[in-house]
Amino acid sequence: TLSPTSNVFIDSDNLENLDFLLDTIRMNVERLIVYLSQDTLTRCWCTGEITTAAHHHVDLIRVVCPCWSPPTEMQMQNLGSFIDLSSTNLLQLGITFDMVRSAYEKLLSDSVPTYSVSSTVRGRSKFDS
């Protein structure tokens, strides 16, 4: 449970420097909430964030959209084709495909709390409990 004084960092607060973003996750984040839409796991920056969080034992929480489906076994074995690497080289940041695979397996495991977003609810009310 977050306290009313908890700090929240939204990755869109810094979409210019992936290295800084990953340092923020590594050093200042207690929980990473991963909003899983159909493309989340194919996005290089999201991949970097998830992998960094998992590697540094940051708690993960999944929020699953109706359009999301988990990667297939073939996609998990061919992450170089599955992830859009056109904007960033994760290897230069110290992130290997083995690390990504391990992070995705952790994220998709039953041990990670999961919340589903209803397709019938609109706007802010999606997040009301």
The CATH number of the domain holding residue 94 is 3.40.50.10140
pLDDT at 13: 54
11 domain residue, yes or no: no
Separation between Cα atoms, residue 29 and residue 19, nearest integer Å: 15
Q: Binning pLDDT at 50, 70 and 90, where does residue 101 land?
A: very high
16 domain residue, yes or no: no
Q: Kindly tell me if the per-residue pLDDT of 50 is higher than 70.
A: yes
Average pLDDT (101-128) is 84
- Taking alpha carbons only, the member of 43, 50, 113, 41 closest to residue 76 is 41
Name which of 16-30, 51-65, 86-100 the model is least confident about: 16-30
Residue 72 tokens read as 């297939």
Residue 8 near residue 46 (C-beta atoms within 8 A): no
The one-letter code for the residue type at 36 is L
8 domain residue, yes or no: no
Domain housing 98: 30-117
67 domain residue, yes or no: yes
109 domain residue, yes or no: yes
Strand partners, 126: none
84 domain residue, yes or no: yes
Instruction: Quote the number of domains for the chain.
Output: 1
23 domain residue, yes or no: no
Residue 97 near residue 41 (C-beta atoms within 8 A): no
Q: Binning pLDDT at 50, 70 and 90, where does residue 129 land?
A: very low
129 domain residue, yes or no: no
